[in-house]
Amino acid sequence: MNAITTNRISNTYIEKSQLKLSDFSIDKTEIYRSLGYMDSIPETQFIEIIDTTLELLTSICKPRIGYQIYEGNFTNKGSIEINNIQLKAGRNIIKYFSKATQFAVFIVTAGIEFDNYMKKLRFENDTVTEFIADAIGSEIAQAGIRNLSKDINAIAQQTGLKISNPYSPGYCNWDLSEQQTLFSLLPAEPCGVRLNDSSLMYPVKSVSGVIGIGFDLAKMPHKCNVCNMKNCSKRIIIKAV
Amino acid sequence: MTDLNLLYEAVVGGKLEIAVETTNSAIADGVNAHSIINDYLIKGMEEIGQRFENGKAFVPNLLMSARAMKGSLDILKPLLKDETSASLGKIVIGTVKGDLHDIGKNLVASMLEGCGFEVINLGVDVTSEKFVTAIKENNADIVCMSALLTTTMTYMKEVIEAIEAAGLKDKVKVMVGGAPVNDTFATKIGATAFSDNANAAVQTAKRLLAV
């Protein structure tokens, strides 16, 4: 439970492991874009595969979200200090957090059930469905973040606070190796997610990150020009639409 | 007499069942296997590839076409008298150590296989030792490496160094790809070629092997 004092939220780690995919708002347009359909819709045969796969995944996926809200401060222009731990998010991200006084450290995952389904498709050599399911998995993770943001926003609003966009290691020049530090602010294997030596997450469709909370925060549009990943798939999609 | 244009259309449209049915029918009619491959299957793949390059077809179309072509090739390969002509070349492919992203790599593997290459897919998180062993064991013509992260793409250089150390540099071509990879990086690490999509990867592999 969240214990709320004046403009201050302190809580323990919250994990929602009983979610259903039907609780999430899946945006099919995003799935189409991930598949390469920027300003058009797929042919009927592919829409049928997307719908069938999404329906199947709705019955088997067990997405989970977890977060913990901390107070934090800025020790230099590129870092946040939370619980005596430095998160080196970099200047590009820190400027969007600059008015935050608290930080929700979060994890979202489509779950191991999704990974198992992908393994099955691979075994069956069903490359078309595998490609489509991968795009759906990415959207499940994004929908999970939207779901989580709503939760954090509702908590923040109780004390008149606002939230920032979510930001994650691996994006906007935040080094991926910082995942290890970020995970140290969460319980062991939060939502069943673990890191490998390269700081990648299992299950694969998982996202970790931080949402800033404060009085004068606003959700800023994501700007690709602050990031140095010129070939990022998201940048290509945004540029194309 | 079998209308072989149906086979061409089946490949372009990604219709596996029609491709298989038409291929069997053509064989029963005594049509030469090489002719079926060169005049209809490859031409069908070239057409869908061109549509993809022109933005008129998408990745799912490529995959469906590759599947239809592979279905037909599986029937035809045992009929080819010269065993070596049954495959355009052997390709070892994998996502490098530390990286778990495999959908792009699998896409390239499917396209290569569909277009007539023999593909040995090593999966994800592949070490340099595993790449070298697979190249040796399969006498591979090309090794393809994939990475989606700036942090893991650097491992490609280690693999190339291991290939050189194993004395395989002159025997195998090295192709690299993945979101953060580009031509400059490929040249810098000593790769033979870079491709930024599955269709281009097939064209590049054909060019490298002159097939």
- Residues B58, A36: C-beta atoms closer than 8 Å: yes
- Kindly give the residue spans of alpha helices, DSSP state H, lying in chain B: 5-13, 16-28, 33-36, 42-53, 59-76, 103-114, 128-138, 150-153, 155-165, 183-189, 198-209
pLDDT for the residue numbered B104:
87
Residue A35 has pLDDT above 80, yes or no: yes
- For residue B27, the enclosing domain spans 5-84
pLDDT band with cut points at 50, 70 and 90 for residue A235: low
Mean pLDDT of chain A: 87
Q: Specify burial of residue B74 (Cβ count, 10 A radius: 0-12, 13-18, 19+).
A: exposed
| Same domain? B125 vs B26 | no
Mutate to test the interface with A, among B12, B17, B53, B58 (most CBs of A within 10 A): B58
What's the rounded mean pLDDT across residues A178-187? 95
Taking contacts as CB-CB distances below 8 angstroms, the residues of chain B near A49 are 60
Q: What is the pLDDT of residue A129?
A: 95
Mean pLDDT of all residues in chain B?
A: 92
* Last residue in a domain, options B40, B68, B84: B84
Amino acid letter at B90? K
Contact B65, B72 (CB under 8 A): no
Q: Is the pLDDT of residue A114 over 70?
A: yes
Angstrom CA distances, A181 to A40, A87, A107, B54, stand at: 41, 7, 13, 45
Mean pLDDT for the stretch of residues A165-177 = 86
Q: Are residues B74 and B122 in the same domain?
A: no
Bridge partners (DSSP) of residue B101 are none
Looking at residue A238, what is its pLDDT? 54
Model pLDDT, residue B83? 52
Tell me the chain B residues in contact with residue A128 when contact means C-beta distances shorter than 8 Å.
60, 63-64, 67
* B33-57: average pLDDT: 92
**Are B50 and B112 part of one and the same domain?**
no
* Whole-angstrom distance, CA of residue A105 vs CA of residue A177: 16
Q: How far is CA B108 from CA B103, B116, B174, in A?
A: 9, 13, 14
Read off the CATH number of the domain in which B53 is found: 1.10.1240.10
Position A183 pLDDT exceeds 50: yes
Task: Decide if A132 and B60 are in contact by the 8 Å CB cutoff.
Answer: yes
B84, B101, B125 — which closes off a domain?
B84
Residues of B in contact with A170 (CB under 8 A): 149
**Angstrom distance (rounded) from CA B28 to CA B52:** 33
Residues B34 and B136 in one domain: no
Q: Which of B151, B179, B196 sits opposite A198 (nearest CB)?
A: B151
Same-domain pairing of B80 and B96: no
One domain, residues B76 and B98: no
Chain A residue closest in CA terms to B153? A198
What percent of chain A is predicted at pLDDT more than 90? 66
Residue B106 and residue B177 in one domain? yes
pLDDT value at A171 more than 50: yes
- Are B47 and B28 contained in the same domain? yes
Cβ–Cβ pairs < 8 A, chains A and B: 66
Whether pTM exceeds 0.90? no
pLDDT, position A228: 65
Element (H, E) at A70: strand A64-76
| Euclidean distance between CA atoms B26 and B6, whole angstroms | 11
- Residue found by looking up tokens 């800033």 in the block: A212
Same domain, B37 and B110: no
B96 and B182 together in one domain: yes
Residues B76 and B96 in one domain: no
* pLDDT reading at A165 higher than 80: yes
Tokens of residue B4, six digits: 């072989």
ipTM of the complex: 0.82
| Tens digits of residue pLDDT in A6-22 | 455 656 899 998 899 98
Tell how strand B173-177 and strand B142-146 pair up. parallel
Listed residues B63, B84, B105: the one ending a domain: B84
Residues A129-139: tens digit of each pLDDT? 999 999 999 99
Mean pLDDT, range B8-31, rounded to an integer: 96
Q: Which of residues 185-214 of A touch B (CB under 8 A)?
A: 196-200, 202, 204
Is B151–A177 a contact, with Cβ atoms under 8 angstroms apart?
yes
Average pLDDT over residues A152-163: 94
CA–CA separation, B87 vs A136, rounded Å?
Answer: 34
A36 or A224, which is more confident: A36
Non-local CB neighbours of A205 within 8 Å, separated by 6+ positions: A109, A110, A111, A114, A115, A137, A138, A140, A141
Give A-chain residues touching B152 at CB under 8 angstroms.
198
Q: Do B201 and B143 have their domain in common?
A: yes
Instruction: Decide which of B211 and B91 is more confident.
Output: B91
Share of chain B above pLDDT 70, in %: 97
Integer CA distances (angstroms), B182 to A27, A82, A230, B186, in order: 31, 37, 10, 6
Distances (CA, A) of A224 to A35, A40, A149, B178: 20, 23, 21, 19
User: Which of helix, strand or coil describes residue A231?
Assistant: coil
Q: How far apart are CA B139 and CA B90, in angstroms?
A: 7
- Distance of alpha carbon B168 from alpha carbon B160, whole angstroms: 9
Q: What CATH number did the domain enclosing B199 receive? A: 3.40.50.280
Q: How much is the pLDDT for A72?
A: 92
**Residue A67: is its pLDDT beyond 50?**
yes
Q: Is B100 in the A-facing interface, judged by CB distances under 8 Å? A: yes
pLDDT class of A1 with cuts at 50, 70, 90 = very low
What is the model's pLDDT at position A4?
A: 43
Q: Which domains does chain A have, with CATH numbers?
A: 13-240 (3.40.109.40)
B142 touches chain A (CB under 8 A): no
Total number of domains in chain B: 2
